[in-house]
Amino acid sequence: MAQQHSVIIIGAGPAGLSLACSLAQAGLHATIIEKQPREALADPAYDGREIALTHLSVELMRQLGIWQLIPDDEIGLIKKAQVQDGVSPYSLDFDHRQNNLEALGYLVSNHLIRKAVFAQADSLDNIDILTGITVEAVRTDAQQASVTLSDGPVLQAALAVAADSRFSETRRKMGISASMHDFGRVAIVSRMSHARSNEQTAFECFQYGGTLAILPVSAQLSSFVVTASGKQAQALLALSDDDYRNEIRKRLGSRLGDMTVASERFAYPLVGVHADRFIDQRFALIGDAAVGMHPVTAHGFNLGLRGQNTLTKAIIAAASRGQDIGAPQVLQQYQRQHRLATLPMYYGTNGIVKLFTSESPPAKLLRQAVLRISNNLPPLKWAITRKLTEVGGSALSPLKSTRSIPQPQHDSRP
C-alpha cells in the first residue's frame, strides 16, 4: 500500500534538511530519505570543508532555527578579503568597513552546519527522516509523485524533491541532463594553526600552477585550501604532516609565522554541475543536485539555501490560495527565479577560474588588470562586495528568533 506524504525529499544534506525545516514551519509535512545511517547525520564527522556564509544565508538559517544551534565560538568572522595573482604582491582588497558591515561573511564548519540542521529537522513533528535507505525508482504523473524505497515500500506525495548531491542519481533517474565541467583539479583542505593572527582575513592567491586559499577559523587557526592537478594532489596527500606544512610555507612565505598541521587532509575533485532543468512533473531539484559550484566563490551552499527558500515561497503561496503545491506553475515559478540567481553565478565563477588559472601571458596580464580596475573603481568594488556578501537579499518573512546575528550597520552606497 502506498503511503501519502506532502513532500518527499531525497537526500538529508544541508539543502534537503533546510527545505524540510522551511516546509515544516509553513505547516506542511516532509519525509526525507537518506542513504547514510542516522548516527552519521546526528553527529557528522569533520570533513575539512569550512563554509563561508553570506548575510542572507545567516538570516535564512536564523529564521529556520538552525543558526541558534551553532555554538558562538564555532562561528568565524571574515572581516577582510585579499586576492593576489601570481608572484605579484599587488592585491584586490575588501574590508568590512568599506561597506559598513560587521563582517563580510561568516565561516562555519560544514559538519557543524549538518549537525545543527539535522537537530532542528529532527525536533519538528511534521518531518519524518528515513535513514539507511535509498531510492529504487521515482515516477510522477499529473496526480502524484511516487517514490519506491530500496526496502520495498512506495511513498506518494504531491511533490518529490531531489537534494542528493551534485552527482544526483535521482536527477538521472528522472532523465534530467546537466552541464558538467571537470576542472581536472583537486581541492585539498585542512586546518593549520599559526603563530601570527590571520586578522580575520580570507586570502586567495592564484599562484602559477595552483591556487592557495586561506580562511580564518579563529585568530590563530585557518583552513587552507590548495588546488592542484590530480598528480600533484596525490603527491601532496602522500606527504607527512611536517613536509606538507613546509610545502605550504614555501607557497605562503612567513605571512602567518610558524605553522602546525591541525587536522587531517581531505581531497575534493573539482567538478561544476548545472542541471539543464530544475523541474519535471511534480518534481524539483535543489542544492548541489541543481547547481554544484566550484568552491572558489564560496557560493554552493549559499545558493542551496536560497533555492530551498525560493521553492518554499512558491509552495506556501500556492498552499495559501488552496492550490496544488506540485502544480506546474508553482514549479515553473521556482525554476524561473532560481535559474536567474544561479546561471550568472555558475558561469561567472567558471569564467573566473578559467581566467585565473590560465598560464597564457595574455590571461596573466588581463587578471592583473582586473584586480587593479576592481580595486580602483569604488562602485564596481561596492557591487562585487554586495554580490559576494548578499546583504539585503530577500528572505521569508521574519519569524521569532532567540538569538540575533550582527546586522549590517547601514547602507553605504557611494
Ligand X SMILES: Cc1cc2nc3c(=O)[nH]c(=O)nc-3n(C[C@H](O)[C@H](O)[C@H](O)COP(=O)(O)OP(=O)(O)OC[C@H]3O[C@@H](n4cnc5c(N)ncnc54)[C@H](O)[C@@H]3O)c2cc1C
The site for ligand X (CB under 6 A) is made up of 10-16, 33-36, 49, 51-52, 110, 134-135, 163-165, 169, 187, 189, 268, 287-288, 295, 298-302, 304
- Shortest distance, position 413 Cβ to ligand X, whole Å: 25
Neighbours of 410 (CB within 10 A): 8
What is d(CA 41, CA 347) in angstroms, rounded to the nearest whole number?
32
Minimum distance from residue 254 beta carbon to ligand X (Å) = 26
Q: Please identify, using beta-carbon distances, which residue of 159 and 319 lies nearer to ligand X.
A: 159
Please state the closest distance from residue 384 (CB atom) to ligand X, in A.
17
User: Cβ(55)–Cβ(390) under 8 Å?
Assistant: yes
- Give the CA angle between residues 364, 366, 371 to the nearest 5°: 100
Q: Rounded to whole angstroms, how far apart are CA atoms 299 and 278?
A: 18
| Cβ proximity to ligand X, 239 vs 267, nearer residue | 267
Rg of the chain in Å (alpha carbons): 22
Report the DSSP beta bridge partners of residue 31: 8, 128
Q: Which is nearer to ligand X, 16 or 210 (CB)?
A: 16
> Is the Cβ of residue 215 or residue 325 nearer to ligand X in the bound state?
215
- Cell numbers given for 391: 546583504
Query: Residue 228 corresponds to which cell in the numbers above?
Result: 592542484
In the complex with ligand X, the residue whose CB is nearer, 299 or 364, is 299
Closest to ligand X by CB, 265 or 299? 299
Q: How far apart are CA 200 and CA 198, in angstroms?
A: 5
Distance between CA atoms of residues 208 and 120, nearest Å: 44
Eight-class DSSP state of 2:
P
Query: Cβ closer to ligand X: 188 or 318?
Result: 188
Residue number, 319 or 346, with CB nearest to ligand X: 346
In the complex, the smallest distance separating the C-beta of residue 250 from ligand X, rounded to whole angstroms, is: 22
CA distances from 363 to 218, 354, 358 (A): 35, 9, 6
Name the minimum Å distance from CB 132 to ligand X.
10
Shortest spacing between CB 224 and ligand X, in angstroms: 11
Residue closest to ligand X, measured at CB = 13
* Nearest-angstrom CA–CA distance, 118 and 124: 10
**Strand positions, DSSP E, 195-307:** 201-207, 210-218, 221-229, 259-261, 266-275, 279-280, 283-285, 291-292
CA 284, distance to chain mean position in Å, is 18
Minimum distance from residue 412 beta carbon to ligand X (Å): 25
Distance of closest approach, residue 258 Cβ to ligand X, in angstroms: 25
